[in-house]
Chain A
Amino acid sequence: AQSVTQLGSHVSVSEGALVLLRCNYSSSVPPYLFWYVQYPNQGLQLLLKYTTGATLVKGINGFEAEFKKSETSFHLTKPSAHMSDAAEYFCAVSGSSNTGKLIFGQGTTLQVKP
């Protein structure tokens, strides 16, 4: 079975500081990995995804993530936080049969302080 663990349910950073949201996964097959963002009372928006190829993936709004197979990690980073980045972030892994089923982590709430 596949699973996702997001370390830290709540992360607080100052505006302009580095953002680091941690995600570890468990998968018996090469995973497809995703980061989604959710603003209050809205659906999920795809930030970035890793399927194959380059392990450093760039996404929207200045976010990027690096797939590290040896560490089974897919941490999300952004060099400089903006107030508009405050939201809930979800890491997800696709189902082992590539049906498209997403298995999500519990989510990390990012707070950005002025």
Chain B
Amino acid sequence: EAEVAQSPRYKITEKSQAVAFWCDPISGHATLYWYRQILGQGPELLVQFQDESVVDDSQLPKDRFSAERLKGVDSTLKIQPAELGDSAMYLCASSLDRGETQYFGPGTRLLVL
């Protein structure tokens, strides 16, 4: 069964450092999502791609966060510089198209010290 892959699974970094997360969606899925889940809360959408284009990044802190999906397949989410408040689980999801069922990866748990 096809799955969404994410790496790394865990990341510990110091504040002001740069971090990057990688996501490989299910093959053929046009839509890719990055969510942030703070401990004890539900996930919140950071950015949504349709193929290689960003369709929603309204909740992405653009002063420090960036995301790309250059060839419309895998994607990278970057934080520079990391802050203590960025400690969270970062989840990637993909779907065949907008509005279709989203399938989630295992997530990357980030701890900023």
Q: How far is the CA of A107 from the CA of B44 in the complex (A)?
A: 12
A74 interfacial by beta-carbon distance below 8 Å: no
Q: Are A44 and B104 in contact (CB under 8 A)?
A: yes
Question: Which of B61-69, B70-78, B105-113 lies at the interface?
Answer: B105-113
Residue from the list A36, A98, A104 in contact with B44, Cβ < 8 A: A104
Query: On chain A, which size bracket covers the interface?
Result: 20 to 34
Contact B42 A90 (CB under 8 A): yes
Alpha-carbon gap, A92 to B33, bound state (A): 15
Instruction: Report Cα–Cα, A106/B100, bound state, in Å.
Output: 22
Cα of A42 to Cα of B99 in the assembled complex, Å: 23
Interface residue ranges of B24-48 to A (CB < 8 Å) = 31, 33, 35, 40-45, 48
| Count, chain B residues at interface, CB 8 A | 29
Q: Is the CB of A44 within 8 A of B91?
A: yes
Partner pick for A107 among B41, B104, B106, CB 8 A cutoff: B41
- Of the residues B4, B40, B43, B109, contact of A104 by C-beta under 8 Å: B43
Q: Which residues of A contact B101 (CB under 8 A)?
A: 46, 49
Using a CB-CB cutoff of 8 Å, which residues 29-51 of chain A contact chain B? Answer: 32, 36, 41-46, 49
A27 to B31, CA, bound (A): 23
Partner among A43, A49, A94, A99 whose Cβ is within 8 Å of the Cβ of B91: A43
Tell which of A42, A45, A90, A92 touches B107, judged by Cβ atoms closer than 8 Å: A42
Given the complex, which residues of B lie within 8 Å of A102, measured CB to CB?
A: 33, 35, 43, 45, 102
Does A101 sit at the interface, judged by CB under 8 A? Answer: yes
Query: In the bound complex, how far is the Cα of B101 from the Cα of A98, in angstroms?
Result: 12
Question: In the assembled complex, which residues on chain B have CB atoms less than 8 Å from the CB atom of A43?
Answer: 4, 6, 91, 93, 104-107
Q: Which 6 A-B pairs have the closest CB atoms?
A: A104-B42, A43-B104, A100-B98, A44-B104, A98-B99, A43-B106
Residues of A within 8 A of B (CB): 4, 32, 36, 41-46, 49, 90, 92, 94, 98-102, 104-107
